[in-house]
Structure 1
Amino acid sequence: MSELDFDRLKSIQGESVDITDSQNHRASLMLEAVEPGLPNDATWDSISIRFRSNTTLTIPQGYYTIHHRHLGTHMLFVVPRDSGRYQSMITRERK
C-alpha cells in the first residue's frame, strides 16, 4: 500500500470511501472535510477527516482499511473525535 498523504486525501474531499474494520465490517462514508491535524507526538502525523453518513455509525479507535477507486487501499489508525457527528481524527504512522 502506498503512502496516503494530506494532498491525496484532500483531492477526494466530497467523494465516497469504503472503510473496513478488523472484523471486516464495511461502511461507505462521504469524506466531508479533510484538514491538517495537530501533531500529537514525534512518531505520528495526523490528518483530520470529517465523514458524513446517513446511519448511526460508531467508529471505535483502531486500525481501518480505507479504499477509494482512485487512491487504492490504505491502512490507517483512527482515533475518534466526535462520533455523534461522524468526525474522526485519522492518523498514520510516519515512516
Structure 2
Amino acid sequence: MEHFTQANLERTVGENVTLTDGNGVAITLRVDSVHQGKLDESRWESFSVTLTDQEPGRIPQGTYQIAHENFGDLPLFVSPNNETQYEIIVNKERK
C-alpha cells in the first residue's frame, strides 16, 4: 500500500490497470480520475479512484488484486458506480 498514493494514482490517469479476481480471471480497466477525500490531510491520506470498463457489468463489488507498474500489485475493494464505472476509496494514515 506504500506506493498506492494519490500522487502515484494521479500519474496513472488515462492508463490501464489490471484487476484479477480470486479465480485468476484478469480484466483491464482505465483509470479515469482521482479525487481528494475529506479527511484531515496532515494525518490521513484520503482519495478516490474512478475506473472505467469498456464492457458493462463485468465486475461485481468485491476485493480484487489491482496491478500497475506505478504502485505494484495489491488487494483493494472495488465498488460499481454504474454498469461500466467503478470506484476505489482510500483512507489511510500517513507515516
Q: TM-score, normalised by structure 2?
A: 0.70
Distance 2:65 2:23 in 1: 11
Count of aligned pairs between the two proteins? 89
- Rg: which structure is higher? 2
- Percent identity, please: 28
Distance 2:25 2:33 in 1: 23
Runs (4 or more) in structure 1 with deviation over 4 Å come to none
CA contact (8 A) 2:35 2:47 kept: yes
Change (3 A) 1:23 1:48: same
Deviation at 1:20, TM superposition (A): 1.1
What residue ranges of structure 2 are gaps of 5+ in the alignment?
A: none
Pair 1:27-2:53 in alignment: no
RMSD of Structure 2 on Structure 1 (CA): 2.6
Distance 1:30 1:57 in 2: 15
Change (3 A) 1:32 1:61: same
Q: TM-score, normalised by structure 1?
A: 0.70
Q: Which residue of 1 aligns with 2:82?
A: 83
**Structure 1 segment 1-95 matched on structure 2, within 5 A:** 2-37=2-37, 47-80=47-80, 82-88=81-87, 90-92=88-90, 94=92
Distance 1:67 1:76 in 2: 10
